[in-house]
Amino acid sequence: MRHLPLILLCVLGLAACSGRTPPPPWMRSAEKPRDENYHGGNAGMILKFDANHDGTLTRDELIKGLKAEFAIHDTRHNGCLDPEQAGDINQGRVDADQSTATPVMDWNQDGCIDYTEFSAAPYSLFDQLDANHDGKLEPRELQRGGAAKPKDPDAEPDTAPAPDGDGEHRPGRRGGEGGPSGGSGGGTA
């Protein structure tokens, strides 16, 4: 009888630790987790050079695409991008790719970004992803770099309703929206 309080305390402690209760409904997300590779991940930087859009990027396609892109940015036609041109390129990359942007850098600090410096990151990424060293990146190799899986042309389109059940896209939560009532309004953005 003397040990009864101790036994009850142990039983209550074990009961408390035995399982997790699910969070209340207003704390559960009805949305799918977003894909952090929404711009194609690292592979998105080089996949845009797939000239024939066959899902396979060859080294020749990469070289031609990079040379064409460098020529567009080299408005003075001197084979050199100055800091102002580099700033414009970098701002465009940040605007397009947000935190996944790879900046153009003057690696040797000579005040000029030449083609070698401009193309260093894409060439390096190509070499890293080309697992079989055949000079082309096939879809499975590109997936290692974050590219989306190729869509199955025979697959049926996704016609499932949105998570909130009304057929419309539900915007992400910001500020103080979506409290216990489950509403999506009333907060500040």
- Provide the CB-side half-sphere exposure for 1 (13 A, CA): 0
- Whether 27 maps to a domain, the answer reads no
- Whether 73 maps to a domain, the answer reads yes
Phi and psi angles of residue 57, each rounded to the nearest 5 degrees, phi first? -105, 120
Span 86-127, pLDDT tens digits? 999 989 888 877 766 788 889 999 999 999 999 998 999 999
CA angle 184, 185, 187 (to 5 degrees): 110
- Whether 173 maps to a domain, the answer reads no
- Whether 93 maps to a domain, the answer reads yes
Q: From its phi and psi, is residue 94 left (phi > 0), alpha (psi between -120 and 50) or beta?
A: alpha
- Whether 7 maps to a domain, the answer reads no
Query: What is the reported pTM?
Result: 0.57
Q: How far is C-alpha 9 from the geometric centre of its chain's CA atoms? A: 49
- Whether 12 maps to a domain, the answer reads no
pLDDT for 141 equals 87
For 122, the domain range is 41-144
CA angle 146, 66, 138 (to 5 degrees): 40
Question: pLDDT (tens digit, 0 to 9) for every residue of the chain, 189 residues total?
Answer: 677 888 877 777 777 666 677 777 777 777 665 555 555 566 777 888 999 999 899 999 999 999 999 999 999 999 999 999 999 998 988 887 776 678 888 999 999 999 999 999 899 999 999 999 999 999 888 887 666 665 555 545 444 444 444 444 444 444 444 444 444 444 444
As given in the structure block, the two tokens for residue 151 are: 């869509």
CB contact burial 151-170 (16+ within 10 A = b; e otherwise): eeeeeeeeeeeeeeeeeeee
Any bridge partners for residue 81, and if so which? 113
CATH number for the domain harbouring residue 116: 1.10.238
Q: How far is C-alpha 8 from the geometric centre of its chain's CA atoms? A: 52
pLDDT for 12 equals 74
As given in the structure block, the two tokens for residue 123 are: 């060439």
How many domains, in total, are found in the chain? 1
- Whether 123 maps to a domain, the answer reads yes
For 33-41, which contacts have Cβ atoms below 8 Å and span 24 or more sequence positions? Answer: 34/172, 37/146, 37/147, 37/148, 39/96, 39/97, 39/98, 39/100, 40/146, 40/147, 40/148, 41/100, 41/145, 41/146, 41/147
- Whether 130 maps to a domain, the answer reads yes
pLDDT for 149 equals 61
CA distance 88 to 92: 6
